[in-house]
Structure 1
Amino acid sequence: MIYFDHCASTPPHEEVIRTLSEVMLLHYANPSSLHRSGMESRKLLQRSRGLIGELFHTDAKEWVFTSGGTESNNLAIVGAARRSNARGKHVITSAIEHPSVYDACKKLEREGFRITYLPVNRAGFVSLSDVESALTEETSLVSIMHVNNEVGAIQPIEAIGSLLKEKRNVYFHVDGVQSVGKLPVRLRDWGVDLFTASAHKVRGPRGVGLLYVRDGVQLEPLMAGGGQEDGLRPGTENVAAIVAAAKAFRIAMGGQKERLMRMNGLRDRLVRCVGEIPELVLNGLGLASSVAEMPEADGASKGGGILQEMAPHIVNFSYPGMKPEVFVHMLEKHRILASTKSACSSKDDKPSRVLQAMGLSHAQAASGIRISFGDEHGDVELEWLCQMLPLVVSKLKPLERKGQRE
């Protein structure tokens, strides 16, 4: 099987697995215990936090270990909004955020907060001018993802951060789960206050998330307990998984430059391949339209080609009139594993909220397929995918639902 679902989860490095196993065998003591074994566990925890701080060019103390990206996003958004509600109960986010952000904002709405869900264009980009227009005296938090998990649109984080630097009472949260290890991340240069990452998206273990909390930013904890993680995330730390996760982030960020170049090539070839199949429609910047979809005011560069502002590891396309799960299962028969939308939402049969927010038709939004690359992919795997796509379409064409295509 060829696994093209790296946005959902990634196969762990053998080195990461060995590290996880060794630490579990040798360092099982609670890092909060006062005896020698507990102190050894605590040192490993501190060393891992220090490594994360170095990788992101921040202070070690600014990082909180959580159970994953979902918890990190919830702690950042709900924790910041609740702590800052005295100065304002207005939060700005986008209409295409991951469910862990989108639903956290819906939760805040039920608590009396006002949420602005910014629109995006057909390429999936937030407008900087829309962010600026949405800001009010009551705004306490802006949460915009770095890379969209369905179509791969890279949001103008640097431009938004520059805008918000003038708003000292507004925190800036970025969901970076799909960008770490693929794209440069410069938290301090961008003025980011809160940043989320997840280990299992960079070939690390599941159950470990990172949350950057800039020094001086205050959050309200979501849980009560023993005061671990500076009181923000109580509960005994999973030392073995955290040490293994730190190693995974080190490997991912160390090989980022080569990975970016290689995946850009794979993505561009797949885009050409899909574009040659009449039944399939590409979704995203330059894939179904032109670079003119992306205003320069949004902080995006137009000088490097129509795919420059898309993530290197994601290609999204639709087969209007065809149920996406049927397409996915047919691909699997040809040894290809792909996905439809966010893994957190893939079990429902509703059209993609992200594709609908981009203004795509119901048929297109209801039939999206996501291909996401990983370290194991090269020319051989890409060639097999490009050979199988037209074959799968030809087999499914008799099942195409009449009247659904536009």
Structure 2
Amino acid sequence: MSQIFIQTRGTSIDYKFLIKSPSPTWWRDYRDLTSFEDPTLIIENIDGSPRIYLSAIPSERKDRVNTRIRYTLVVEIEKDDHTLDDFVLKLVSTWVNEVGQSSKYKPINSKIGNMLDKHFSEEFVDGFLGLKYPENQNIDELNDKLKNFQQEISKLTKPETIYDNASWWGGIGNEKNRQDWIALVDKLVSNKSYGKALFLNLAAEENDIQDILRDTTGQIICLINGNSDQQQFSVIEKIKIFISKLKHLKSFVVISVCILFVFLITFNLIGFSGNRLSESKVIQYVAKSCKEEKTSANSTPTLPKPETQSTASKTTPNSPKPETQSTAANSTPSLPKPETQSTASKTTPNSPKPETQSTSNSPKPAIPVTKEEIVTTEELAEKLNVSKDELLSEVKKCHESFKTWSKKFEKGTWDFKINGSQLTFKKVNF
């Protein structure tokens, strides 16, 4: 809910807000650059909820030592609430022009101050501030007075605004500066832009407002005492502003990275937990596979290479022949599997080998190949900075060579599949 807060004092009771005060007192962030007892204007929109601070609006009332009393107005607008847009724009534009046109930028008389005095008389303020527990009293009268004040402000002329996206600083005594500053206020209050429109009465040059520039997202216009023209921020300050905007993305980036990290971890554990192995487990697996292959090699004949088949076919007539070779003396030798050899023996020497034969005769890969990233022999050889022949030679040595080239490529471990003299590699863990 959007709220309007009024701070003032009575004849003998010191300054405090009527009913309740805003929390937190966010305007205190500017205490080193402005005196709140003198005219100060702070309009911010940094998260979609505009907030306004106007101080030192003069009243005709005086305290018991004959000092002029002041008003401070704070408006906090809830996100997407536009009911106060017109009121705030007219209120702020009237006050900034009164300050800019006054001597030493401290108005003695004010149209806004007179309106406040009209609706918040001395008797009402003294009586209201004198209540021991004002928050427990009926505040309908206070709300009615606030509503009447809003209606009177709304009767003022709405300023014409020309939007500009530039950020700058300049003197409040310059009329064009005030017009452009009011245009930014209009954008901030109506939630068309993020940024800050400020008048800080202790700031005199760009160096005084450097801290504000670093911590601001959006357009910045800072008015200071004097009549100086608009001064664009220096290149260094523009870089600082850009960096500060990036800093505002910090939380978004951190959250995004965390989500991505969780996704990758989940993807790794769920999607590939059955296929991915650590390097030590891969080496153990290869060693076990090599041992099994060596054991089976001593008991089961392996498929001879093409260049040795011609030699095998020239066996002497006196050598004993298996019983199954009687019907196909000239056929190419094959693995001694009884259920397939009778069929193979019926093939002519010139007949092409079945497609399944080359597959069945190929040795099993050390690790089952999955649908992960496949890398050719040439690509892996280039990554390992070795020749293709050297890689082929080392891989065929199996266990010991696997340790060697996996150490060369410490960023990941790789699975390989032997297909004749060609190797293909699967990235297992990278």
- Tell me: higher relative CO, structure 1 or 2? Use CA pairs within 8 A at least 6 residues apart: 1
TM range (shorter): under 0.3
What's the TM-score once normalised by structure 1's chain length? 0.23
What's the TM-score once normalised by structure 2's chain length? 0.22
